[in-house]
Amino acid sequence: MAGAHTLAETERQVNERLAGMTIDFKAMAITSNLFRAATAVRNHLERTVLAPHGLSWTAFVVLWVVWIWEPIETRQIAEEGGFSKATLTGVLSTLESRKLAVRKKSKDDGRLVLVELTPAGRKLMQELFPEFNQQEQFVANAVDASNRDDAAEVLRRITKNIEENA
Amino acid sequence: MAGAHTLAETERQVNERLAGMTIDFKAMAITSNLFRAATAVRNHLERTVLAPHGLSWTAFVVLWVVWIWEPIETRQIAEEGGFSKATLTGVLSTLESRKLAVRKKSKDDGRLVLVELTPAGRKLMQELFPEFNQQEQFVANAVDASNRDDAAEVLRRITKNIEENA
DNA sequence: ACAAAATCGTTTGGTTGCTAACAATCTCAA
DNA sequence: TTGAGATTGTTAGCAACCAAACGATTTTGT
């Protein structure tokens, strides 16, 4: 899936292990390289941008989503960020304790909680996001400029296929 | 980064939010689609294959690595899987308690722990992995057959760029 | 109008994730 | 040979992660 051995080495060893089975190595290469790349990129962004600001990946995603769409309901943040409402409860508590975000009860629906950034939270995002985008550029540099739209499109198709056919 | 809004909607809203800042939207599209795809694929594989067998993603990765390379040292498993030795300690405890893997002290170096699968662990992987690969095929179907090597190569380049230049 | 069903965010319990610290063990340099 | 330095897996403490359960609220169907 990731690490120390190359995919070729893994393939050879898998062949030994799975004598007689039919394995689609091209499909395996797509998924394992997808995870490798996503992990490497995430680690890189965490190390270079988020950790110096004391933020976890998820805390950053929450801050980003709230920053772009505030005020926003917690269920929407969870959906946008791709994690559960239960997880969001914990992360929001952390962000509230750090005075970066606040929860407000919805006036229209007694079940809902709305989230906004504090001025400190907004200031942090204004400072942080250009750095983040700069490192996104570093990441994207590995892809030919003429190929970036295609690369993004392939990834988009992978996601869409799952959302529509799974 | 993920979720309910399209990237175009996000881009529009970001433009409003970030009036005056220079944002590389192509780079952003690469990274955000990478995370979306990796999350979608991982969730899909977890839901269709791993959860029915009561396995977490990381437990599966550990089982896979041990299955392919056993007997293997714990530090190698952690490196191969891309997580910390501390995390592995917890996951191995879970797998041992489920009688899928065993730890053995190394004869050559008193610090090392070697891991092997139990017969039940091997049986599970033999049953599980073809299912997993089948869903990998489902995932890869979103990519044109003529384009799969290129797609894997782009992802490989993204990872390599970070490993070599960060 | 009213009860059942659905939805919400939080809590609970268990697991995964990390860093830092630690004891045990090995390696290296003097 | 011996002590310093490096490496190992585990522990401790904290945060993130989930599903299930829960109380509060809203929606739906009769």
pLDDT at B41: 93
Parse chain B into domains and list their residue ranges: 1-53, 55-139
Over residues B103-114, the pLDDT tens digits come to 999 999 999 999
Q: Does residue B138 surpass a pLDDT of 60?
A: yes
* Contact B19/A at CB under 8 A: no
CB < 7 Å to strand D — which of 59-78 in chain A? 59
Q: For chain A, 166 residues long, give each residue's pLDDT as a single digit of tens.
A: 555 576 677 777 877 777 777 889 899 999 999 999 999 999 999 989 999 999 999 999 999 999 999 999 999 999 999 999 999 999 999 999 999 999 999 999 999 999 999 999 999 999 999 999 999 999 999 999 999 999 999 999 999 998 887 6
B55-139, CATH topology level: Arc Repressor Mutant, subunit A (1.10.10)
Over residues B65-76, the pLDDT tens digits come to 999 999 999 999
Closest to B55 in 3D by CA, of B154, B109, B129, B114: B129
Distance (Å, rounded) from C-alpha B130 to C-alpha B97? 25
Q: Identify the DSSP state of B47.
A: I
In angstroms, the CA of A160 and the C1' of C5 are apart by: 32
Over residues B30-55, the pLDDT tens digits come to 999 999 899 999 999 998 999 889 89
What is the distance, to the nearest Å, from the Cα of residue A51 to the centroid of all Cα atoms in its chain? 15
Q: What is the CA radius of gyration of chain B?
A: 20
Structure token pair of residue A97: 């304790």
- Cβ of A35 within 8 Å of Cβ of B35? The answer is no
Per-residue b or e along A48-58, where b marks 16 or more CB atoms closer than 10 Å to that residue's CB: ebbeeeebebb
Chain B hits for A129, Cβ within 8 Å: 18, 21
Alpha-carbon separation of residue B18 from A67, A111, B25 (angstroms): 10, 32, 12
pLDDT at A18: 76
Interface test with chain B among A146, A161, A164, by most B beta carbons within 10 Å? A161
Closest Cα in chain B to A62: B1
Return mean pLDDT, chain B.
90
Longest dimension (CA), chain B: 64
Asked whether the beta carbons of A61 and B39 are under 8 A apart, the reply is no
CB atoms within 10 A of CB A1: 20
Q: How much of chain B, in percent, has pLDDT values that exceed 70?
A: 96
Structure token pair of residue B137: 């095929």
Closest Cα in chain A to B10: A68
pLDDT at A166: 67
pLDDT at A121: 96
Q: Does domain A7-165 have CATH number 1.10.10.10?
A: yes
CB atoms within 10 A of CB A159: 22
Three-state SS letters, chain A: CCCCCCHHHHHHHHHHHCCCCCCCHHHHHHHHHHHHHHHHHHHHHHHHHHHHHCCCHHHHHHHHHHHHHCCEEHHHHHHHHCCCHHHHHHHHHHHHHCCCEEEEECCCCCCCEEEEECHHHHHHHHHHHHHHHHHHHHHHCCCCHHHHHHHHHHHHHHHHHHHHHC
Q: Does residue B62 surpass a pLDDT of 60?
A: yes
